[in-house]
Amino acid sequence: MNKPFLISAKYKIPLLSCMAIGLVSMAYALFGEPDHGVRFWANFHLNTVWLITIALCGMVFIGLHSLGKSAWQVAIQRVPEAMALFVPVGAVLFLIVLAGLWLGWHQLFQWAHPHGDALLEMKKAYLNLPFFSIRSLGYLGGWIFFVLWWRRLSLQQDKQADVNLFRKSEKVAGGFMAFFALSGSMMAWDWLMSLDPHWFSTLYGWYVFSGMLVSGVAVLALLVIGLRKAGYLPGVHAEHLHDLGKYVFAFSIFWTYLWFSQYMLIWYGNLPEETVYFRQRHQEFNVLFLGTAASNFLIPFLGLMTRNAKRTPWVLAAVCGMVLCGHWLDFFLLIMPCTLGGQAEVGLIEIGMMLGFAGLFLWVVLRALSKAALVPVNHPYLKESNAYKTPY
């Protein structure tokens, strides 16, 4: 019934070629571009942070459902668990960015060199290299700690059906959520908002969080659909897809709500130090900026509104794919205008590097999936999850 997952050649070849494309693009960006690697580092940072947030969303998904004593997700729980196991790999990637910051390989973070900029001097108590590094290592360390602890407990439960282990894992989930509540926001300030160190918005952390929920659940849905298509996860049926679809639908609306709140308040207040952020995006990326916002709302809203759409694997997969691209572009718009400015474009390098990182992500996730049973066999709510029928 629950056959173990194997990474066959069918998966290996496309994944390896994705990673190869990524390497080629990286090499070209580093040596073929006359900009001293700005484009390379901006893309490197973009994809690293993007994938870390998606991986974290796996853990957030588990944490929220565990705290909510939810049962329906148990049949797919190993998939977000595997996603979360990318966090350590993402941490290594981020350490490369951090090392580059120390060693002067890149100039992504303008605050590292205030050069007499009054505002940046004012913020120096927070935005300085050592403190930034300590914070970053703190977030990464904390996340890795909780992810691995959860995983260990989860695997232990496969061997012995012990309610105490289950109770303990609920506590780990609570600990993670409490830690994430703060570190999730601060990560967004440090790694993304401080790329544009003069600008600030209190909503920023939650805005990034909402986008991360959409992308993370979209990736989760795609993985579940893919696994099912390959003949795995027999206990997962349309009801589970329905719920994942509802999440993509609802989180997309939530993201739009935060997008609008941030945009409208800054537009309405019309203070130059705040509007500069949207002004730049309007001037340099108007079509992309408005198009991304509109499509990230309209595609999931219209595409997943009906019950049938959420329950039809190919429709759900298509919408999730589009939404995922949309939120990658949203990340692009968070990062690129502050690093490359108006010259930024979605070119072959961007796509190539994105493919490379995505290939690495998938490789790590699939490997994690192959390391354990695809279903947490002794989970006390597993029967509920398998028998689960949505009442609406």
**Residues making contact with other proteins (CB under 8 A):** 67-69, 71, 119, 122-123, 126, 163, 166, 174, 178, 181-182, 185, 189, 200-206, 246, 250, 253, 257-258, 260-271, 273, 305, 307, 380-381, 383-384, 387-392
| Rounded CA separation 9/360 (Å) | 16
Looking at the Cβ atoms of 165 and 351, the one nearer to other proteins is: 165
Return the biggest CA–CA distance within the chain: 66
Looking at the Cβ atoms of 264 and 348, the one nearer to other proteins is: 264
CB of 387 to other proteins, least distance (A): 6
CB of 115 to other proteins, least distance (A): 16
Looking at the Cβ atoms of 274 and 345, the one nearer to other proteins is: 274
| Rounded CA separation 32/28 (Å) | 5
Looking at the Cβ atoms of 8 and 202, the one nearer to other proteins is: 202
CB of 279 to other proteins, least distance (A): 15
| Rounded CA separation 219/226 (Å) | 10
| Rounded CA separation 179/49 (Å) | 18
CB of 112 to other proteins, least distance (A): 16
Looking at the Cβ atoms of 220 and 266, the one nearer to other proteins is: 266
Looking at the Cβ atoms of 47 and 210, the one nearer to other proteins is: 210
Its sign, for the CA torsion 220, 47, 89, 13, is positive
Looking at the Cβ atoms of 271 and 287, the one nearer to other proteins is: 271
CB of 144 to other proteins, least distance (A): 22
CB of 225 to other proteins, least distance (A): 22
CB of 196 to other proteins, least distance (A): 12
